Structure 1
Amino acid sequence: MTDLSEMGKKAKTAEFQLSQLGTVQKNKALEQMAVALETNSAKILAANQKDLENAKNNSMSEAMQDRLLLDDDRIKKMADGLRQIAEQSDPIGKVDRGWTTEDGLDIIQERVPLGVIGIIFEARPNVTVDAAGLCFKSGNAAFLRGGKEAINSNIALSDTLRTALKDFGLDDNSVQLIHDTSHEVAQEMMELSDYLDVLIPRGSGRFIKMVVNKAKVPIIETGAGNCHIYVDESADQAQAIKIIENAKVQRPSVCNAVEKILVNQNIADEFLPKLAEKLKQEQVEIRGDAGVQKILPDVIPATEDDWYTEYNDYIIAIKVVPDLNSAIEHINHYNTQHSEAILTENYQNARQFQKQIDAAVLYVNASTRFTDGGKFGFGAEIGISTQKLHARGPMGANELTTTKYLVNGDGQIRN
């Protein structure tokens, strides 16, 4: 039986050491962690192969197997992500503001670590490395629990990182992985409020909702991605097809893949057949509303549930809308406040879309696939926050900090 309390105590001890490390020392350790990933790639890939074999035996979809897959290129990208994290400015000790009060007190608001960060996630082994790297850079201990689908990969990755830290003379309990993937242990982790300062879930919308409902530890909610693209009547149609293809097909299993397309009725007759031809070439199943069915009679009729669904697969739903206002109303009703895009050549429409849509990230003439800590220049991400308190959007090292006030006086007492 896994003793989470004992692991929590070790994490708290490691957290104190981490909070005292200087930037140079942290960056050198991150480089050593990156080298260790590359050096141990054969061991990591062998472990990942076991997970892939289990996934195939359990009839996991190809899109979800792609989430699970590691190869030399993906290991290199994880290592490069650690190096990019090292290159980022250190958020710890950064002064947000400072001032002197009327009582002569000098006050500084300074960035400090959150503490011990729990990350509970599904079949994405790269999360093990991204979370460990970002937590380490921001002076936090990482307390990880991945899904059973990736357990062999996660063990190999976490062992590699822990060995690198130990070889560098640091506490390897800065990164801990729970090996027991049972629901009972997951529930226990969600209640570990004596040791975890915050819990970040990553996975499907259903999984995240379950964690939010059951956890007793404070949550930063990362989002399911029911992402939309609205094709305005002024859009460059050739460019729009390329953007939609990329947003849907490049990696359909991830949260920033597009799931819904809204098309202005004034271009629907011309645009939809061209879009459908491209999507069918990519084996994407199209579901459509009544307006789409009139133009593309062979599409599957979309239901009300479709507008709420994050498919994570080669499926997309399309709706014909009369104007921009209708598109905005639809998106704000059905979206998960993750990433939304407008394809348009009309500046006013672009500004209205970005101002009126309630979401973490809003694009004009670009793929939703760019909602990613690496692409935003953070090196990696701990998740995409779709809530509004503490952090929103891709979360890098800076978002894993809080503040404290340093108040210096000269004998002042309050009257």
Structure 2
Amino acid sequence: MNKSIFQGNQRAQQAMMHSQINRNIMKNNLNADPNIKPEEIVVESDNMQQTIYINPNQNYQQVIPQVIKPSIFQGNRQQLRQLEGILLKKSPHCLMGFSKKFCILNNRKLSYYNWEKKHILEGSLNFDLQEYLYSVTTNADNQIIEFKLIPKGCEKQFIFKSEEVQKTQEWAQVIQQHLDQSDGKKKQIVFLSKTPKFWKHYQFSHLQVQEECDNGDIVLFKSKDKFAAASRIVLRSEFDHVAILCKQDGQLYVYEAVSTGVGLFRWDYLKQQDWYKFYEKICIRKLNFDKKNDIKVQDNFMEFIEENMGNDYSLNIGKFFKFTSTIKKPTNGEKVEKKRSFFCSELVAKAYKEMGLLDQVKSSTQYYPNDFTTDKQLKLLQGASLSPEYLVFFEG
């Protein structure tokens, strides 16, 4: 039995392990020699040792459940009612009183926007990432006429009401249910209160990413090492790496091109093995696309992942000057570009092309990590769009 040992908990070493696993799987596929014994890979880190067995006689879809232990993620929590509509929010400036906001309550998050320009976020309260003190004000008939949210450990107050008492009561009651089901209350989490004006940005917990994200959503990484910082200066980007998410059997994976090749790793490894500590920032952008779950779109996306697993990484001067795609038609049932090499943003752009979201003529090599940030406002086809960046928190 072949045996490989990786010492330490470095992200680069783990990425090499993922890539090697994927290469072994794709090389052997279903036509492997039945006499070949499984390969054993032992991963040793600061707080755990994990043994992984690769059976070369199975394809990678069948291998994935064997490669990785069951996730600590236990699936979706209780389904909660969602609300959206106009509420009045009290201004922090005493002379301004209440002003209209367009509010959305879903998945234990309350976000409010400019009531006329509903795409402009003005505040977001993620109940899973912060415990909130909650109180209501009632009238003589014991009806709720306004409700108040105060981040525990913070003096900031969020006071809301509706122009209709009945609507105020409805919002207050449903928000109470979201609060009761939140991690913030159950675990008494207060670390957000130490971040100045944290409510000005979207926030996601790493578990919410697992729960709410799906095929085609984007992950942006800002690494801590000096080489990555230099590349950000050259690319004029806040982020130095981009990847795409895919979901299989309820488990979320990050599909990426790194120096060791094209492969995937499980999202919750970022938390379980402390990989997130090697990044200054990790952000999510959700793909909004009406046809996202169409069978054809999903098949094209998953076929692209399967075909390119284990392919090489490359970023060379020639790619910078390749402005248009060379589109080849398959012959004799062969797959096109099966052995193509990629760099990170090229891989993501090509995946979006397979989903019909980017211009087929423009070369995928002309997309860089910065193109997938909010600042660039990437134009997608078929009415699709990317959400603003959600900052992912791994604490708590």
| TM superposition score normalised by structure 2 | 0.29
Greater relative CO, 1 or 2 (CA 8 Å, sep 6+): 1
Higher helix proportion, which one? 1
| TM superposition score normalised by structure 1 | 0.28
